[in-house]
Structure 1
Amino acid sequence: MALRACGLIIFRRFYAGALASTLPEIQFLLLQTSYGQHHWTPPKGHVDPGEDDLQTALRETEEEAGLKSKDFNVLDGYKKEIIYTVNNKPKTVIYWLAEVKDHNTEIKLSDEHQTFCWLNVEEACKLAKYQEMQEALREAHQFISNK
């Protein structure tokens, strides 16, 4: 049976400059796992029986990052499906794109993760070592930039 997981690519608009008129930097939230190779990904997890994919993404984001659905907006029009192999079995991960409402929103990690960071798209792609994840982050950045 194929593995299936769902999650949210979370981003914020961060104003680094002193002037409010400066363009915001788009930063993505990545979590570092506390198991295995300590890889970096957006919050995601396996679909539980009776859940639809988006319910899974929302639940996993709350469990892994402490973000409740009131803390962010899921953007219409972006849904990315990634398929890769884990232990010689295909795994499908579906991501939606969500923007936190307050760039200072507190992240509360579960014991599945040891740390997190907010990164611009290039920094995020360096940490997310899998090509499929890098492509998803770049596509998400392009989607945000075109809105």
Structure 2
Amino acid sequence: MATTSAVGELRQVKSCGFFVMRSNQSFLLMKHKNRYDLPKGHMEPGETEQQTALRELLEETGIKSSDIDIDPHFHFEQTYFPIYKRFGGEKVQKTLVIFLARLKSDSIQVVPTEHPNFEWHTCNSLQPSKETKNIDELLHKIQAYLNQ
């Protein structure tokens, strides 16, 4: 969802996705050229946050809503101010919304369509770095939530 407000206000963008886990507590990351990220994407008009996350999960990984159990108690939201190439280098107000899901079966195959590759990681196998800076805060929140 990209909207433009009155003059002087920043364009607002919302992106929604999933933190997908397997039974061994590993989680899915999509591999970009220089970084890792979650399966997520921009909200379309008329979608709810969860509908956006489910659509993006299917589009980017082939994982269907029937393949996952969504944790009803976890909801991560973060707002930040990146420079967007898609808007000609304009600074925007971006809100990221992430839901937690577990695969119903570890045999479900991931088929990346929008990224060169994917990897399964554990919280211990992924150290904070420039490759993960976009998701470091989320990783800390997930870890604290799972250790409750």
Asked whether the two chains share a fold, i.e. TM above 0.5, the reply is: yes
Does residue 1:6 correspond to 2:16, yes or no?
yes
Describe the SS at the equivalent of 1:122: coil
1:33-89 per-residue CA deviation (whole Å, 9 max, x = no partner) reads: 3xxx53211100000111111100000000001100111100011000022222122
Tell me, which stretches of 5 or more residues in structure 2 are unaligned? Answer: 1-10, 84-90
Map 1:1-147 onto structure 2 (within 5 A): 1-14=11-24, 26-33=25-32, 37-87=33-83, 88-110=91-113, 112-126=114-128, 128-130=131-133, 133-146=135-148
Describe the SS at the equivalent of 2:95: strand
Q: Are the structure 2 counterparts of residues 125 and 13 from structure 1 closer, same or farther at C-alpha, using a change threshold of 3 Å?
A: farther
1:117-144 per-residue CA deviation (whole Å, 9 max, x = no partner) reads: 11001333546521x5112122213322
Contact 2:37 2:132 in 1 (8 A): no
Contact 1:8 1:44 in 2 (8 A): yes
Query: Hey, which of these two has a bigger chunk of helix by percent?
Result: 1
Contact 1:83 1:93 in 2 (8 A): yes
Between the two proteins, the alignment pairs up a number of residues equal to 130
**Counterpart amino acid of residue 92 in structure 1:** T
Task: After TM superposition, give the deviation of residue 103 of structure 1 in Å.
Answer: 1.6
TM-score (norm 2): 0.80
Identity of aligned residues (%): 29
Describe the SS at the equivalent of 2:26: strand
Tell me, which stretches of 5 or more residues in structure 1 are unaligned? Answer: 15-25
Contact 1:8 1:95 in 2 (8 A): yes
Describe the SS at the equivalent of 1:94: strand
